[in-house]
Structure 1
Amino acid sequence: MISNHDANASIHQPDSYLNHIPAHVALIMDGNGRWAIKKGLDRSQGHAHGASKLREIVTKFGEYGVKYVTLYAFSTENWARPQNEVENILEILLTSINSELETLHQQGVKIIHLGDKTTLPEEISHAIAKSEQLTENNSKITLSVAFSYGGRSEIIQAIKNMVSEGIEAENVDEKTFERYLTTYGIPDPDIIVRTAGEMRLSNFLIWQSAYSEYYFTDVLWPDFGDEDVELVIKTFSSRNRRYGKS
């Protein structure tokens, strides 16, 4: 975890960090509800404000040269939340797609959905498919949205698909297995960022994060801004990634 002291110090590093930019940043966007409660608002307003930050943050990472951003928007476990909260989140997702899609497309953003589409309402599933189809040839930055996603269920589904295709055990290696993951074709995250002070993965990209760096911050997601993006970049630049080597 990066401490507040380390964060304050790291922002004064020279701009040489621009030579060491993560290709893939993954974000666990936590704290929408707590942000709303602190301000005396309904939790739904926290989710709405958090959603309104997405294009700003993705754009800012893109300005630094990050080529892949993955957002953990809704986990398989989140379906167990109160029904009215789930319905509100689904409505915000649909509104965000409809209002932001054309702008993201014009900015060269390629959109990919990670997760179980079969659990989604038809209207949302259709909107996601439309966004993927419209942006499939864009290449400036790839935005993967993990919605109704769980790392364990992704692994189980990959195994089921391999078995159904008759893959023999002796032919299974890491590269073969990765072809059956929803993230196939996307590099593993270089750094995983989690907001709101929580320090766990919560079933997010558990295969893909084997050698990822981690960045935990107390900042609530709706308050996450340009300076926080800069700190993520600078923190990554200070890490020595050995991949198990001495």
Structure 2
Amino acid sequence: SMGHYAGLTKAKEIVRAAAELGIKYITLYIFSTENWKRTADEVGYLMNLIRSHLQSEFDFYKKNKIRLLHIGDISGLPGDIQSDLRSAMEETAGFSGTTLVMAINYGGRDEIIRGVRKLIAQGTAPQDITEEAFSRSFDVPGLPDVDLLIRTGGELRLSNFLLWHASYAELLFTDTLWPDYTKKEFYSDIEKYQTRNRRFGAVPDAQDGRHR
């Protein structure tokens, strides 16, 4: 649909805005593991959009020194998209500007399950399974925790997105549909985030506001 096309086109505008603000990581939820439940025609259309975007916008990402990463079960994607994703990641690996993390065939629970399987396959002893070890088993080992999660379209749920990484994320919900979400609104949401008092579960000291 035109909505899907506009949504993927919007990615470029928001990624550029993030780069202008010096944001180091931005993750876009492009295709979830649940999206396979849609009709075959719609899934095929979405795959074609992803395929087209990776090819047509790659020069934009290279020109702007944007590093590309992928999270999700890459083995479940069409072979040519797997190849394009791997090439894009290899060719932008040396860039030190903003990193765009593309969540394609991604589900938060699925990533956790695949991580557990990886640890078991490696023969990891139960006592060696720490938060740090567990985070190294994810699709991108060492991916920073989410600071701000913006949910567009008036939905008030996480929809299985970055469940581990967003444990302490600040959440912002907007009624604006993603294709209509503007650079101006993105800037506004960043300003709102900057006013939040992030405690990470600690209780602020009544006198000086410090965590304890």
Aligned to 1:3: none
Amino acid at match of 2:64: Q
Shift of residue 183, structure 1, vs aligned partner: 3.1
Report how far residue 55 of structure 1 moved: 1.0
- Partner SS for 1:53: helix
- Give the corresponding residue for 2:140: 183
Q: Which has the higher contact order (CA 8 A, sep 6+)?
A: 1
Tell me, what secondary structure is at the counterpart of 2:99?
strand
Mapped pair 1:113 → 2:65? no
Q: Aligned pair 1:242/2:195, yes or no?
A: no
Give 1:88 deviation, angstroms: 0.6
Deviation at 1:53, TM superposition (A): 1.1
Please give the residue correspondences for 1:77-226 in structure 2 after superposition, counting only pairs within 5 Å: 77-226=34-183
| Secondary structure of 1:113 counterpart | strand
Find out whether 1:69 has 2:26 as its counterpart: yes
In 2, Cα distance between the equivalents of 1:62 and 1:189? 16
CA contact (8 A) 2:14 2:186 kept: yes
- TM-score, normalisation: structure 1: 0.81
- Paired letter, 2:61: L
Residue type of the alignment partner of 1:144: V
State the partner residue of 1:36.
Answer: none
Q: Which amino acid is 1:49 matched to?
A: A
The corresponding residue for 1:231 is 188
The separation in 2 between residues aligned to 1:143 and 1:151, in whole angstroms, is: 18
Structure 2 length-normalised TM: 0.94
Code of the aligned partner of 2:108: G
Task: State the aligned residue count.
Answer: 203
Amino acid aligned to 2:50 = L
Which segments of 5 or more consecutive residues in structure 2 lack a partner in the other structure?
Answer: 204-212
Contact 2:3-2:179 at 8 Å conserved across structures? yes
Structure 1 runs of 4+ aligned residues shifted over 4 Å read none
